[in-house]
Amino acid sequence: SCNATRINLFALAFQEIGRIKFGTIAVEYRQVACKPPDNIEVRVDARRPIDGGYLRLTLRNVAGDGGLTAVDIRGSANASAAGVDGVANAWQPMVNGYAATNANAGAAWEASRLQPDPAGGFDLRATNAVGETIIISHDTYCTAPADT
């Protein structure tokens, strides 16, 4: 099994720290802060703007010392429609469930019950493992993905 305290390495990489015949060895490691080379990138993987709408997206180049533990979505303050679940400017948690089938596990998020595409788009709120949050406004990532 592979739990949170276990690291699986490719055999050639393992040879750099231990002998393959040992199979499993104890190591010490620490997580360090990450400073990506670019701004946060919001990639829309899929969306359906009608019929209960949904949105799948991936966040990349997120700095910090821990992975994202939560991403929330709401209709942008500039939105002319209600935005999420019929409630103006209410944050709705996104689900990280579809990440299990995505190579970017931990960075991929999905929301449903979205109102038809509001004119002002959506805002995102990302929270990392140490509780730091950042608001990513629609004006920051303004994209026009193809409907899927």
Q: What is the CATH number of the domain that holds 89?
A: 2.60.40.760
Amino acid at 107: A
In this predicted model, which residue has the larger pLDDT, 30 or 72? 72
Question: Can you give the pTM of this predicted structure?
Answer: 0.63
Query: Which residues span the domain enclosing 91?
Result: 34-141
Q: Which range is least confidently modeled, 20-24, 41-45, 141-145?
A: 141-145
What is the length of the chain?
A: 148
Residue 147 in domain: no
Check residues 91 and 66 and name the one with the higher pLDDT.
91
Lowest mean pLDDT among 29-43, 52-66, 72-86: 72-86
Q: Could you tell me if residue 109 is inside a domain?
A: yes
The predicted-structure confidence for 106-125, as pLDDT tens digits, reads as follows: 568 898 887 665 556 788 99
Is residue 81 domain-resident? yes
Q: Which of 95, 142, 147 is nearest to 123 (CA)?
A: 142
pLDDT at residue number 144: 45
Identify whether 8 is part of a domain: no
Per-residue 3-state assignment (H helix, E strand, C coil) for 62-77: CCECCCEEEEEEEECC
Indicate if the pLDDT at residue 104 is higher than 70: no
Establish if 93 belongs to a structural domain.
yes
Nearest in space to 147 (alpha carbons), one of 46, 66, 13:
46
| Domain total of the chain | 1
The answer to whether position 132 is within a domain reads yes
Mean pLDDT of the chain: 73
Give the 3-state secondary structure of residue 138: helix
| Amino acid at residue number 10 | F
| Residue 59 located in a structural domain | yes
Q: Does 79 fall in a domain? A: yes
> Could you tell me the sign of the dihedral formed by the alpha carbons of 107, 112, 114, 119, in that order?
positive
